[in-house]
Amino acid sequence: MNGKHLVKLGLEKKAIALAQTAATTRETAGLTRDDILNELRAVQQNPAAYTAGGVYAPLAAELLAQQAILDARKGSELRPAPLPYPTWGADLIDPGAHRQMDVAMRLPVSRAGALMPDAHVGYGLPIGGVLATENAVIPYGVGVDIGCSMMLSILPIQPGALRTDEAGTLLLKHTRFGAGVAFEKRDRQDHEVLHESTWDDQPILQHLYDKAATQIGTSGSGNHFAEFGTLTLPHADLGLDPGEYLALLTHSGSRGFGAQVAGHFTALAERHHPTLAPEAKKLAWLPLDHEDGQAYWQAMNLAGRYALANHHLIHARLARALNVTPLAQVSNSHNLAWKQQVGDLELIVHRKGATPATHGQLGLIPGSMADPGFVVRGLGHEGALHSASHGAGRQLGRKAATSTLNKKDVQAYLTGRGVTLIGGGIDEAPQAYKRIEDVIARQTDLVDVIASFQPRVVRMDTGSEDI
DNA sequence: ATGTTC
């Protein structure tokens, strides 16, 4: 058998070598060249029928592997141009965030998207990005801090009745900040989320259970915070009379548990798409009709419930210390994916730093450590995929903030607004964020503002560059 | 965002 005959069959290098070996065996068995070429064509047409054994099994396996790569490449190909998507507050958004969103809208699984006015560059999908996909979930479309969320408790206390030093003492005693931190054993609290059978369903969840159990009720680091402030409710709402209330606002996530879930499934998604274009590598997805997609979906939702449980424990601890029961509570996740009907399709809507804003849905949009946050009610805007911003959004990256701003500037800003800060880093300075008033003004068709919250005593993690 | 990454 001449190699040329095999090239003519359209075989590639490795397959040619395997075909040559098989052909030699068949020639020894007395078959003619034409007989062998016919057999080879049959193997080519249906390699799966030959993998069980026999002289053609190695060739058949190689052909199947090649086909799988081709199929994967075909299924991972980006569209030549991004699908169009609406942007809110384009004048506030860095071109880099648009570039990232453009890549996301070129994914073959993408169907719709939107950019919120707090958008800025992140890993994979931009922060403030909303992306709807079909039968696919993108771990980096949710983000590292799965289930990152906000919670507000409105307390039956006059804003002036809690002194600044008392508020600071409470926050220091009843919250825990920092990467890797957990509550001391005697202070550890239980929550029903830790008793779910879900933890037994996957090895990774079993593995992370102990970490989750020790860290529950903690706040973490980065932009996470716990703060007392003054809630101003101009009109009767939330079952409350108009007026001013002492309130507790927290920003926290799924801690080490969620971060490790995110890392695990991002790596898995990348293995699903080995031929994905480099610019879209961090947007690798998992098919939802595949066990890996189902596993992520389960773990993601558990991390979402766990993050909200964190908030509930933080609020319960502080409310108990104050000997009060909250008058009302509002909470929302802003790093998560949801199944959502979009037109005729049920899509997977990823919100990575975006507040769900279905018609009538309550949400929380914080400003910065010294700027007001807002309680909002969604207007269910279809084009925004029922979403709004999740905050003010960065205008300076962490490095830029650290090199541009100094302690004095930040202290002056805090003093000017009567804010007392415990912990905090320069990279979280109010000046590192967009003006929340501008961001809110760009999304009046997405949410109604129903109350504002002015921070008074704020606790954050100690940054690398303290304030 | 996370403890400190293959």
Rounded to whole angstroms, the distance from the CA of residue A181 to the C1' of nucleotide B3 is: 9
**Measuring from the CA of residue A251 to each C1', which nucleotide is nearest?**
B1
For residue A373, which of A152, A170, A172 has the smallest C-alpha distance?
A152
Cβ atoms of A231 and A155 within 8 Å: the answer is no
- Please give the full DSSP string across A315-349, using - where no structure is assigned: HHHHHHHTT---SEEEEEESEEEEEEEETTEEEEE
| pLDDT for the residue A184 | 84
C-alpha of A452 from chain center: 26
Q: Which residue is nearest to nucleotide B5 (CA to C1')?
A: A263
Instruction: For strand B, list residues 94-153 of chain A whose Cβ lies within 7 Å of it.
Output: 123, 144-145, 148
Rounded to whole angstroms, the distance from the CA of residue A24 to the C1' of nucleotide B1 is: 59
List the beta bridge partners of residue A336.
A351
A256 touches strand B (CB under 7 A): yes
Cβ atoms of A240 and A233 within 8 Å: the answer is yes
Maximal C-alpha separation, chain A: 100
**Measuring from the CA of residue A143 to each C1', which nucleotide is nearest?**
B1
A3 touches strand B (CB under 7 A): no
Residue A299's CB is within 10 A of a number of other CB atoms, namely 27
Instruction: Report d(CA A309, CA A40) in Å as an integer.
Output: 61
- pLDDT by 10s per residue, chain A, length 467: 777 777 777 777 888 889 999 999 999 999 999 999 999 999 999 999 998 989 999 999 888 887 776 776 778 899 999 999 999 999 999 999 999 999 999 999 999 999 999 999 999 999 999 999 999 999 999 999 999 999 999 999 999 999 999 999 999 999 999 999 998 888 888 999 999 999 999 999 999 999 999 999 999 999 999 999 999 999 999 999 999 999 999 999 999 999 999 999 999 999 999 899 999 999 999 999 999 999 999 999 999 999 999 999 999 999 999 999 999 999 999 999 999 999 999 999 999 999 999 999 999 999 999 999 999 999 999 999 999 999 999 999 888 898 899 989 999 999 999 999 999 999 999 999 999 999 999 999 999 999 999 999 999 999 777 77
A215 touches strand B (CB under 7 A): yes
pTM score of the predicted model:
0.88
Both tokens assigned to A326: 């909250």
| pLDDT for the residue A130 | 98
